[in-house]
Amino acid sequence: MTNIDDLRERVAQACRVLGTLDLTKAATGHVSARLPGTDRVFVRARGQDELGVRYTTAAEVIEVDLDGRAIGNPPGLVAPSEVFIHTSLYRARPEVNGVVHVHPSKVILFTICKKPLLPLFGAYDPSAAKLALDGIPTYERSITITTPELGADLVRAIGSKRVCLMRGHGITTAHQSVEEAALDAIALHELATINYEAALLGDPEPISEEDQVVFRSGRESRQYSAAGDGRPGGRAKAVWRYYTALTAS
Ligand SMILES: [Zn+2]
C-alpha cells in the first residue's frame, strides 16, 4: 500500500470511528486529509450507493483541489456540497492536515439552547477539559456551507482554534492530522455529554479556579506533537488505536 492509498484509508477509518461512536448519522458529515505538501485533499465523497459515514470505504474517498473540484471524475461519486469547509481551512491554515465536519446531536443542543460548555471535569478527560478552558467559538449561522465565501466565513469564526460549534448544524475540527481532528471531535462530544447529563442531574459547577489553571496551562499531549507530516503524534497514536479497534467488530 502506498502512502497515498494509506491516507485514503486513514480518512475512511476516521469516518468509521466517528460513525461507530454515533457522532453523526447516516450520510451527514465528512472527513478529509491534505496530501502532505500539496494543495490536494482526500475527502469522503457522496454517492448514490453509499451506506453512510459509519461504513465509509477507501474507495469512497476522492481527491479534490482547493477549489473543491473532484480530480479524475470518480464514477458515481461527487464531492460533498460542504467541501468548502475543508478547502477553506486548508487554504487559510497551512498547519492543518486533517478536518472533520459532523453533526453530533448532543453538542448541537448547546448551540440551540445557547448554553456554554463548562469545564466541569479535569483529570477525567484532560483533552476535553482543555477544549472548554481554551474557549470554543460558535459559527452563528445554521446554513449549509456550500460556497467558498461561506467557507471563508466559517474559517473566520474558527480563528486559530481547533474546534468550532455551528449553531443548529454541527461541529468542525481542524488539526495537524486527520486522526487528531477526529479525536478533538470525540473530546468535544464527551464534553457536551457530561455537561448535558450533569445539567439533568443537578446544578453543575465548574472545577475550581486553582484546578482550571492547572489544566489550562497543562502540556497538551495531542497538540501538534508530530513533525508536521500529517500523522498523529505522541499519545494520540495510542488513543486512536483503541478507537480503530472498536470499528473492527
Ligand atoms: Zn453539515
Beta-carbon count within 10 A of 113 CB: 9
**How many other CB atoms are found less than 10 A from the CB of residue 4?**
13
Determine the distance separating the centroid of ligand 1 and the alpha carbon of 207, expressed in angstroms: 32
Provide the pLDDT for residue 74. 80
Radius of gyration of the chain measured on its C-alpha atoms: 17
Q: What pTM, to 2 d.p., does this model score? A: 0.94
| pLDDT computed for residue 227 by the predictor | 55
Q: Kindly give, in sequence order, each residue whose CB lies less than 8 Å from that of residue 28, ignoring residues fewer than 6 positions away.
A: 53, 102, 103, 170
Q: In which band, very low, low, confident or very high, does the pLDDT at 249 lie, cut at 50, 70 and 90?
A: low
- Residue 113 is placed in which grid cell? 439552547
> Does residue 113 sit in helix, strand or coil?
coil
Cβ-in-10-Å burial (0-12, 13-18, 19+) of 127 comes to buried
Question: How close is the Cα of 142 to the center of ligand 1, in Å?
Answer: 9
Q: How far is the CA of 29 from the centre of ligand 1 (A)?
A: 6
Ligand 1 center–CA 32 separation, angstroms? 14
CA-to-CA dists, residue 166 to 104, 112, 152, 203, angstroms: 11, 10, 14, 26
Name the residues annotated as catalytic.
Answer: 82
pLDDT per residue as tens digits for the range 115-141: 999 999 999 999 999 999 999 999 999
